[in-house]
Amino acid sequence: MRYLDEFRDAELVKNIVGEINRIVTRPWVIMEICGGQTYSIMQNGLDQLLPSQIELVHGPGCPVCVTSLELVDKALVIASLPDVIFCSFGDMLRVPGSQGDLFSIRAKGGQIRVVYSPLDAVKIAQQNPDKQVVFFAIGFETTAPVNAMSVLQAKSMGLTNYSILVSQVMVPPAMHAILGSPSNRVQGFLAAGHVCSVMGYWEYPAIAEKYRVPITITGFEPVDLLNGVLMTVQQLEEGKHEVLNAYTRVVSKEGNVPAQRILNQVFKVCDRNWRGIGMIPKSGLCLLPEFDDYNAEVRFDVGRIQTKESEICIAGQILQGIKKPPQCPAFGVFCSPENPLGATMVSSEGACSAYYRYARNESVKA
Amino acid sequence: MGHGSGGRMTQELIQQVFQPHLSAPELLAGNDFAELSVASVKGKLAVSTDSHIVFPLVFPGGDIGRLSVCGTVNDVAMSGAIPLSLTAGFILEEGFSTSLLESIVISMEDAAKEAGVHIIAADTKVVEKGKADGLFINTTGIGWIPNGLLISGSEAKPGDIVLVSGTMGDHGIAVLAARGELGFETEIRSDVAPLNHMIRAILDVAPHVHVLRDPTRGGLATTLNEIACQSRICITIEEDRVPVQSAVSAACEMLGFDPLYVANEGKVIVIVPETEAVLALKAMQNNSYGQNAAIIGGVSESPASRVLLKTRIGGTRILDVLAGEMLPRIC
């Protein structure tokens, strides 16, 4: 496939790995922010190709994983209502709430539909005027513009039966939270290419400067990821801490300005609770008050939710790069993709799921 | 509902829709049973049953009729058996279109002819509207296993070679596309096909085949895991060698699916001693359903019950079974 095969080229991969080996002189801890990157690393076995001095730790960039338990529970309540069609990206269906998941609601007769885009949910709302259609608007800055667009579209169509349950989060505040934590181990970042394609990377120089960490905007294919690692290691070895773009075919400094405009038209910055991590100030996006009619939390009475999180799961430490999945006592024992204790075991972008699927057997590494 | 009453309307349905196409003497005899003579059978019998539900009932490359015949013919053939006869049970939802039913029965007839099997017993029930999704078909197949064959998921041995008969994921993606769930149009057709003749051709030149299995639900990855567990061995395949149509891999890229987990209905995994691997490969490639056949990997002793994938760029990772439903990714 054009534009993909070039970035999966075995020869190029070998050359970049050779170059990393040549320049690395001591151990470095590098975090890839995005769960999509974690998955690609594990799926392609990239971690095995890198010199032992380079440790990749996995970041919080899995929207399914960080969606707060309270919001998951609210989703379960709303999806159980008889006149609701609840629309979601597929990944959310298996995420455990305090009691059950969306799959279990579907099995009990709840109308739950997997959609690829919130605009499909708007279409469903148009076709089902006697039902309330709710879209679970989760994600980072990548999904925010299209989720915002769905609200604008529903408004312009005069739909009164469409609303969104918002769990939008943002990357830069999470980077601040990780780097500002006393237990931080991260020395360099691979920034999430898709998030930057929307937002650009004008927000990052301040972070690089404040914490003196190099940040490389990185894509998702093997060549992209290794190139990101190489550029980060180069900076680390030279004692630099700049923001570099290793994903120029997709990302510009200013990002997708029209998309940002739509985002700002519908959302405002708010504090947000991250599952496993806790409250991060100004790390989320919420609907502006003028869009209350499209806010599922306003439309449905879901105020009094009592949440109950697994006591064993260490997803929070994994999402902050403090621990790795095999260090969890439940990993592969009580916790598996079929019976997940935490969301990191569910999502195809979750670190635990990536380890479980691709590297739970130590002999693979030999 | 009258068509399922067992009375005159049932007779009409049988005479007008089924009998013109399903016309084995055993069926036309009008008895509640079919007689099978087993005196000529040397070796063992293989029996398999499968209930077929698919939405939509008609999809590019096939329909539930062709699927229900090929699925069971293939399951019987995977033992090395020569499929002989099928039975078919139909569950119809009230109000189901008779013309659609007839076209599905015709495609069953065509698939059965192609496979060289007879449908010797059949049953029809009609349920109230809303109690079924259009049409369900159960088929049961019987075949005989010639003496000397020992083919089973538990027979893979270290040193064996692993082959597939063609491109992976065509059926699953064709059905998704037909549901309109892709959001774009494709020309991908289901690979649904009877494989018994190709399997005969393989066994003619490679009589020591250890495993034959069709990678249906759960795809290649899940099926290889079943074999690795049954045989308590390790299967390693090379990503680069697994044939996948470019349209299928493009669709999978966009949706966040992995073609190795997508269903096939006209493909077979063959595990065979190294000495017969190339012969088996050639036999497949000479068959119209095996033109894209390829050697994709091999069997080793450990880690037992595991499937490993050598990635395109030289890494190695676990190829696990699918956990539940395949769900599209977010971004």
Which of A237, A140, A245, A239 is closest to A190 using CA atoms?
A: A245
Q: Are A190 and A160 in contact (CB under 8 A)?
A: no
| Statement to judge: residues A199 and A51 lie in one domain | yes
Tell me the shortest Cα–Cα distance from A182 to chain B, in angstroms.
31
B249 touches chain A (CB under 8 A): yes
Range with the poorest average pLDDT among A32-46, A269-283, B26-40, B223-237 = B26-40
**Which of A63, A138, A364 is facing B316, going by the closest CB pair?**
A364
Question: Is residue A366, in this structure, part of any structural domain at all?
Answer: no
Q: Provide the token pair at B59.
A: 């999809």
Residue of A nearest to B315 (CA): A45
Assess whether A224 and A335 both reside in one domain.
no
Six-digit token string for B57: 């009932």
- Confirm whether A251 is domain-assigned: yes
Answer yes or no: do A71 and A137 share one domain. yes
Q: Give the CATH number of the domain where residue A39 resides.
A: 3.40.50.11740
Q: Is the pLDDT of residue A240 over 90?
A: yes
State the smallest CA–CA distance between residue B326 and chain A in angstroms.
9
Tell me which residue range forms the domain holding A337: 315-361
Residues A254 and A322 both lie in one domain = no
Strand partners, B44: B145
Which residue among B303, B314, B317 sits closest to A43, beta carbon to beta carbon? B317
How many structural domains does chain A have? 2
The C-alpha atoms of residue A198 and residue A70 are separated, in whole angstroms, by 28
pLDDT at A4 over 80: no
- Residues A135 and A198 reside in one and the same domain: yes
Chosen from A17, A39, A42, A116 to mutate, greatest number of chain B CBs within 10 A: A116
pLDDT of residue B271: 98
Whether the pLDDT of residue A314 is over 70: the answer is yes
How many residues are present in chain B? Answer: 331
Residue A304: inside a domain: yes
In angstroms, rounded to a whole number, what is the distance separating the alpha carbons of residues B9 and A132?
43
Contact B255 A138 (CB under 8 A): no
- Average pLDDT of span A53-68: 91
Which is nearest to A47 in space by CA: A190, A195, A151, A248?
A190
- Test A8 with B312 for CB contact under 8 angstroms: yes
Identity of the residue in A44, A349, A359 whose CB atom sits nearest the CB atom of B311: A44
pLDDT for A7 equals 87
Amino acid sitting at position B22: L
Q: How many Cα atoms are found within 13 Å in the side-chain-facing hemisphere of B60?
A: 16
CA distance B31 to chain A (A): 41
> Distance (Å, rounded) from C-alpha B171 to C-alpha B191?
6
pLDDT for A186: 95
Mean pLDDT calculated for residue range A157-169: 97
Size of interface A-B (CB pairs under 8 A): 103
Q: What is the mean pLDDT of residues A75-94?
A: 93
Look at residue B39 in the predicted model and tell me its pLDDT.
63
SS3 B129: coil
b vs e for A2-40, b when ≥16 Cβ sit within 10 Å of the residue's Cβ? eeeeebbeeebbeebbeebeeebeeebbbbbbbbbbbbb
Same domain for A129 and A13? yes
Q: What is the pLDDT of residue A363?
A: 40
Query: Which chain B residues touch A63 with a CB distance below 8 Å?
Result: 330-331
Contact B81, B103 (CB under 8 A): no
Taking only the tens place, the pLDDT of each residue in A95-150 is: 889 888 999 999 999 999 999 889 999 999 999 999 999 999 999 999 999 999 99
CB within 8 Å: A91 and B255: no
**Domains of chain B and any CATH numbers:** 2-145 (3.30.1330.10), 161-318 (3.90.650.10)
Looking at every residue in chain A, the average pLDDT score rounds to 92
* pTM of the shown model: 0.82
Write the ipTM: 0.72
Q: Do A237 and A355 belong to one domain? A: no
Q: Among A280, A296, A313, which residue terminates a domain?
A: A313
Give chain B's residues under pLDDT 70: 1-6, 38-42, 181, 183, 323-331
